[in-house]
A and B are shown apart, each in its own frame.
Chain A
Amino acid sequence: MTDSGRQLAGIIGLYDDPDSLIAAAEKVRDAGYEKWDCHTPYPVHGLDAAMGLKPSPLAFLCLGAGGVGAGAAMLMQWWMSAVDYPVRIGGKPFFSWPAFVPIAFELFVLFASLATMGGMLVLCKLGTWASPLHDSGVMAEVTTTRHGVVLNADDPKFDEESARALLEEAGCDDIRLLYENVEEEA
């Protein structure tokens, strides 16, 4: 099967229903694979647990960045209104903090949103376009209708025969090898 100039990147098992996908994911997880993934056209409930994924840390990032935003807003308004150029407006104190709350709230949301977006881009590894799924022509299937379980060739446990057996055990009848198309670069 291996062509010269093409490097084996992994193996994919394609499933048509979410139940077999979950079953397959559980099997791969229990077999102790580390470098593997599921590709699905939409988020499948319960797949995170079946894959043994940890909950996303984004919420902490979001809250932390929001706190920084609100703090920065208060600090900015205090410095500009009470320190750098104090102006008495409406007989209020220079640091009339209740009036500064709306902007602190808005900057909480702004910072938290930007951090969530940035964190998501990094954690989802977005901004990397190359994938053996593109090179082997299965991407269109897993983004539109089918579910794929991918075992990477660089996993220490990987060997073609046992990986194939594992996917078949979970009821898969469409197993394909994934290649990195190296000759196209030249």
Chain B
Amino acid sequence: MSDATATLPEDPPLVQGDITLQKLDDDISAPYEAFPTKRWWIAFLLVQPLAIAFLVCFVYTIGAGIGTWGNNAPVGWGWAITNFVFWIGIGHAGTLISAILYLLRQKWRTGIARFAEAMTIFAVICALQFPLIHTGRPWLAAYWLLPLPNSNNIWVNFRSPLLWDVFAVSTYGLVSFLFWYTGLLPDLAIARDRAKHKVRKLVYGIMSLGWKGSNRAWSHYEKAYLLFAGLSTPLVLSVHSVVSFDFAVSVVPGWHTTIFPPYFVAGAIFSGFAMVATLIIIMRKYFKLQHVITNDHLDVMNRIVIATSLMVGYAYIIEIFIAWYGGVTFERYAFINRALGPYAWAYWLMVTCNVILPQLLWFKKIRSTVKYLYPIVILVNLGMWLERFVIIITSLTRDYLPSSWDDFAPSWVDIGLLVGSFGLFLTLLLLFCRFLPTVAMAETKAVLPGSQPSGGHHD
């Protein structure tokens, strides 16, 4: 990259250094082919207490009932829904990277797509835990959540956004999995063909469904991948829109606004990218993949972070403006209470983390230097969790009737479930890194210089 060019700067190379197809496979395959290293075990054992905390709190909640949570009369939805919305949002970056950036032909996505998609699936798994537990009897939940024939002969209420959520989130989880698995097929075939051990060859062979790299298959595969991208794009926008309907369709002050769907989707992508950056920085260092997932990748991801940060900031301002301009006393009170009431600390911490601090990312040096950007993305994660907390708790604790007002405090079970869900998430992520290629090998090869025909054949 020469700095002397007066024209537009060229895109930086997607993969740094001298890389051949073979070396790419070797580098990406090393982590899942080597026996678990000491460092992997240390990481795995470190997250196990969290995962166990989740299990303990899960079993305790089911055994003793959801009275063990901090929920009370006005705050019927508290902590669990906050966590649900937070985790669903985390997943959105994965789909954005895998689907929307694919449709926009952003080649840099190949380096991070696989990892981000895996995060999507694990985040949806974590998110699903909360609505399931909060039904109290998860093994009966199917009857309340799905239109199944039952002894009361009554059906679920299709006019309720909570039911739309059931369909949206379960479709999202399944489609994300299919999309991810489709992307994995050629890489599983590589893993199969690299495998030395018989059992290993067999397992990866079965998982690869017999992928042979045939162009007659690639032709359909590419079409299927494009269709998945096309389907996932409106899907991911619909999922967080529907999640926001859970709030917007109700009449609670501070929730009943039309800005919620785009505001939630932007927030989801914002938090998702921050989480991808948080984890992929550790992953690439740990697996020595800095030349495949470069600082230029972090740079572009942080540009999306700052764009979505501005959208979220805009939504905060518009909410306040409309509350004032709309002239509804209850709405005005809801926003004054957010900024100055008992949860003002959470509100201002949220504004600081989500709107003020990310402005530092305007500087290229900060955007692409790990030690500067890392604290920022961690705080964005915190800020986005707080955003859901602020929306849910401030509105529910202070609704129309002052006689029903009450403050909310989480119980130890609530906190255990939140912290524990990170244990569940990280356990799944570590297992993924252990057994599957964390970077899409076939896809990255297709965008390496010299890998495509030189002239006249571009479609």
B65 within 8 A of A: no
Closest Cβ of chain B: how far from A92's Cβ, in Å?
6
| Interface of A (DSSP majority class) | helix
A 70-110 binary contact with B (CB < 8 Å = 1; else 0): 00000011001100110101101000100110110111011
Residue in A38, A77, A107 whose CB lies within 8 Å of B214: A38
* List of B residues within 8 angstroms of A130 by Cβ: 210
B175 within 8 A of A: yes
Q: Is the CB of B228 within 8 A of A116?
A: yes
Q: Is the CB of A39 within 8 A of B21?
A: no
Query: Which A residue's beta carbon lies closest to that of B202?
Result: A129
Point out which of A37, A105, A123, A144 has the most chain B C-beta atoms below 10 A from its C-beta. Answer: A144
Q: Is the CB of B227 within 8 A of A62?
A: yes
B341 within 8 A of A: no
Q: Is the CB of B231 within 8 A of A113?
A: yes
Given contacts A44-B452, A102-B164, contact A109 B234 (CB under 8 A): yes
Q: Is the CB of A80 within 8 A of B158?
A: yes
* List of B residues within 8 angstroms of A106 by Cβ: 164, 167-168, 171, 235, 238
Comparing A1-9, A52-60, A156-164, A171-179, the segment that makes contact with chain B is: A52-60
B39 within 8 A of A: no
Residue in A102, A123, A124, A144 whose CB lies within 8 Å of B22: A144
Complex CA–CA separation, A39 to B186 (angstroms): 12
B125 within 8 A of A: no
* List of A residues within 8 angstroms of B217 by Cβ: 123-126
Point out which of B147, B210, B459 has the most chain A C-beta atoms below 10 A from its C-beta. Answer: B210
Q: Is the CB of A45 within 8 A of B155?
A: no
A 6-45 binary contact with B (CB < 8 Å = 1; else 0): 0000000000011101100000000000000111111111
Given contacts A48-B215, A113-B231, A133-B212, contact A42 B451 (CB under 8 A): yes
B 175-194 binary contact with A (CB < 8 Å = 1; else 0): 10011001001100110111
Complex CA–CA separation, A129 to B179 (angstroms): 22
Q: Is the CB of B215 within 8 A of A19?
A: no
B402 within 8 A of A: no
B371 within 8 A of A: no
B 209-246 binary contact with A (CB < 8 Å = 1; else 0): 11111111111111110011001001100100010010
Point out which of B194, B227, B451, B458 has the most chain A C-beta atoms below 10 A from its C-beta. Answer: B227
Given contacts A96-B159, A145-B22, contact A119 B215 (CB under 8 A): no
Total cross-chain contacts (CB, 8 A): 216
Complex CA–CA separation, A45 to B455 (angstroms): 10
A49 within 8 A of B: yes
Q: Is the CB of A80 within 8 A of B147?
A: yes
Residue in B155, B194, B222 whose CB lies within 8 Å of A140: B194
Q: Is the CB of B238 within 8 A of A45?
A: no
* List of A residues within 8 angstroms of B179 by Cβ: 113
Complex CA–CA separation, A48 to B220 (angstroms): 10
Q: Is the CB of A144 within 8 A of B216?
A: no
* List of A residues within 8 angstroms of B205 by Cβ: 129
Q: Is the CB of B155 within 8 A of A43?
A: no
Given contacts A48-B215, A80-B158, contact A43 B222 (CB under 8 A): yes
Complex CA–CA separation, A183 to B167 (angstroms): 52
Given contacts A45-B452, A119-B224, contact A38 B193 (CB under 8 A): no
Query: Which A residue's beta carbon lies closest to that of B445?
Result: A42
* List of B residues within 8 angstroms of A129 by Cβ: 205-206, 210
Q: Is the CB of B453 within 8 A of A19?
A: yes
Residue in A38, A109, A125, A144 whose CB lies within 8 Å of B215: A38
Closest Cβ of chain B: how far from A26's Cβ, in Å?
10
B154 within 8 A of A: yes
Residue in B21, B164, B234 whose CB lies within 8 Å of A144: B21
Residue in A62, A87, A103, A116 whose CB lies within 8 Å of B164: A103
* List of A residues within 8 angstroms of B216 by Cβ: 37, 51, 53, 124
B443 within 8 A of A: yes
Measured as residues with beta carbon below 8 angstroms from the partner, the interface class of chain A is 35 or more
Point out which of B217, B234, B443 has the most chain A C-beta atoms below 10 A from its C-beta. Answer: B217
Complex CA–CA separation, A19 to B454 (angstroms): 7
Given contacts A44-B452, A45-B458, A84-B155, contact A126 B178 (CB under 8 A): no
B157 within 8 A of A: yes
Complex CA–CA separation, A17 to B457 (angstroms): 14
* List of A residues within 8 angstroms of B459 by Cβ: 45-46, 48-49
Residue in A44, A99, A105, A131 whose CB lies within 8 Å of B212: A131
Query: Which B residue's beta carbon lies closest to that of A16?
Result: B21
* List of B residues within 8 angstroms of A18 by Cβ: 451-454
Q: Is the CB of B155 within 8 A of A126?
A: no
Point out which of B158, B161, B209, B245 has the most chain A C-beta atoms below 10 A from its C-beta. Answer: B158
Given contacts A40-B218, A42-B443, A76-B147, contact A113 B154 (CB under 8 A): no
* List of A residues within 8 angstroms of B451 by Cβ: 18, 42, 44
Complex CA–CA separation, A182 to B163 (angstroms): 56
Q: Is the CB of A103 within 8 A of B445?
A: no
* List of A residues within 8 angstroms of B163 by Cβ: 103
Q: Is the CB of B457 within 8 A of A39?
A: no
Q: Is the CB of B190 within 8 A of A143?
A: yes
Closest Cβ of chain B: how far from A39's Cβ, in Å?
4
Complex CA–CA separation, A10 to B297 (angstroms): 44
Q: Is the CB of B214 within 8 A of A109?
A: no
* List of A residues within 8 angstroms of B215 by Cβ: 37-40, 43-44, 47-48, 51, 53
Shortest beta-carbon contacts, A-B, top 7: A46-B457, A124-B217, A140-B193, A56-B223, A120-B224, A42-B446, A126-B209
A-B contacts, 5 of them at CB < 8 A, read A41-B442, A45-B452, A89-B157, A124-B220, A125-B214
Extra pairs beyond A19-B453, A127-B209, A144-B194 (20, CB < 8 Å)? A41-B445, A42-B186, A45-B452, A46-B458, A49-B459, A56-B224, A66-B231, A89-B157, A114-B178, A124-B214, A124-B216, A124-B217, A125-B214, A131-B210, A131-B212, A139-B213, A144-B22, A145-B20, A145-B21, A145-B25
